[in-house]
Amino acid sequence: MEYKLLEEQDLGLMLDFVDDENTKYNVDVLKKFIDNKNDFGFIAKINNKIVGFTFGYILLKPDGRKVFYLDAIDVMPDYQGKGYGTGLISFARDYAKTIDCYKMYLITNRSNISACKCYEKAGGINKVDDEIIYVYDFKEKN
């Protein structure tokens, strides 16, 4: 198992990666993503196959401090429950420290028990029980 930063030479392998939403990744879009200095992708790789993927962003606060927001964590179904998600999160957390982020956070549903366990195993702490997330969806309604 190898955990690493997503790099240009890995982009072709992302075409075979299947996440929970059956996202189809596009090499050109992924290249633009990793070329942005504040966007980061991390992969879990076994025998030259990507089995897990997470991505996040640096958010710059007005006081100059950097926060790392982990947007999504996906592990292919056959590899779930084996610690790869925890490994990915731990790798992303450690990487965020090296780029001077003072904290990392992510959002999940309380009902997603397996994800909550994964995040806690990686050292995450649920600090807030009363937050509500409002989403403004800009997709056209059919």
The full set of domains in the chain, from first to last, is 2-121 (3.40.630.30)
Q: HSE of 121 in the Cβ direction (CA atoms, 13 Å)?
A: 16
pTM of the model: 0.87
Residue 67 · residue 33 · CB < 8 Å: no
Which ranges of 7-141 would DSSP assign to H, the alpha helix?
Answer: 27-35, 84-98, 113-121
Q: How confident is the model at residue 133, as a pLDDT?
A: 78
Residue 3 · residue 91 · CB < 8 Å: yes
Q: How confident is the model at residue 128, as a pLDDT?
A: 81
Task: Report how far residue 102's alpha carbon sits from residue 69's, in angstroms, rounded to the nearest whole number.
Answer: 11
The residue with greater pLDDT, 142 or 113, is 113
Mean pLDDT over each residue of the chain, to the nearest integer = 90
For residue 67, count other CB atoms closer than 10 A to its CB.
Answer: 16
